[in-house]
Amino acid sequence: MVKKVNQSVLCVVFLLFALVMLSLFAQDSSPGVQPEGLVAPSGGERLTLWDMIKAGGVILWIIGGLGFIGLVWAIYLLLVITPRRELPANLIRRFYHLLQAGDYKAIMELCENRDEIISKMVYAGVKLVGHDRYVIQDAMESEGERGASLLWQKISYLNNIGVLAPLLGLLGTVWGMMQAFGAIAFNDAQVKGITMAYSVATAMVTTAGGLVIAIPAMAIYFYLRGRLNRIIFEIEAIGAEFVELLTRGARR
């Protein structure tokens, strides 16, 4: 499952990169022609937000799409990766009571079709009741590591967006400055400085857009990383107690 997801993400990244490069080379980059969106405003006028968006071109729209995906994914993770979901208090109490009573059949029925890491760990341990302690502990730890890896994989996509967005912005800026310097090479000396300053300002729009997307994405990623670390710590502590109960029950 994880391999399929990774392959899908790689395909999306390559498609985005191909789209960016095709859009760049499709533009008219001849040195004698001023690129669209880089025409300096008349005296007294200011560069509006819409002018900046138009100056950013296709790359800025791609960064915006990446930001929308990141926003939706961040909201999903904030709702899904929570201690309440991975460590439901009622479920933990039922596990304690059933383990103390030695009702392993009821525990296995309770764990079936549940996605919580703790449920999968308990299920893996109950299946090996009667074996040595280290066998039960190893099985539960392996299941816990597998579940934690899936959660880490989910939040890593936010980190990927935080890295890709400014790189795309930098690519748009470099390309825009190349076009800007090529365009001003044939301008009159009197307007060359103004045109150059305006062209550089509009070329920097994509970098600004990439940073606007990357900074919140990385901030949410760091927050979720801290939350996930706390969840894993609590799961390890509860799992150690369950190993003791399973080992004790096997000795009866």
- pLDDT (0 to 100) of residue 218: 95
Task: Write out the residue range of the structural domain in which residue 223 sits.
Answer: 50-251
Token pair 């100056």: residue: 55
- pLDDT (0 to 100) of residue 44: 47
- pLDDT (0 to 100) of residue 248: 72
CB 144 within 8 A of CB 181: no
- Is residue 11 assigned to a domain? no
- Is residue 35 assigned to a domain? no
- pLDDT (0 to 100) of residue 132: 82
Q: Which two tokens stand for residue 173?
A: 């800026």
Ordered DSSP codes for 7-33: HHHHHHHHHHHHHHHHHHHHS---TTS
- Is residue 246 assigned to a domain? yes
Residue 131, strand partner residues? 129
Q: Is the dihedral of CA 163, 165, 169, 171 positive or negative?
A: positive
pTM of the model: 0.75
- pLDDT (0 to 100) of residue 29: 43
Q: Which two tokens stand for residue 114?
A: 């549940």
Q: How far apart are CA 227 and CA 225, in angstroms?
A: 5
- Is residue 4 assigned to a domain? no
- Is residue 9 assigned to a domain? no
- pLDDT (0 to 100) of residue 109: 87
- Is residue 3 assigned to a domain? no
Q: How far apart are CA 84 and CA 205, in angstroms?
A: 41
pLDDT along the chain (252 residues), means of 10: 47 51 46 44 57 74 91 94 88 88 86 87 87 86 91 93 92 79 63 63 81 94 94 91 78 54
- Is residue 240 assigned to a domain? yes
- pLDDT (0 to 100) of residue 215: 94
Q: How far apart are CA 141 and CA 135, in angstroms?
A: 10
Tally of domains within the chain: 1
Ordered DSSP codes for 43-67: TT----HHHHHHHHHHHHHHHHHHH
- Is residue 25 assigned to a domain? no
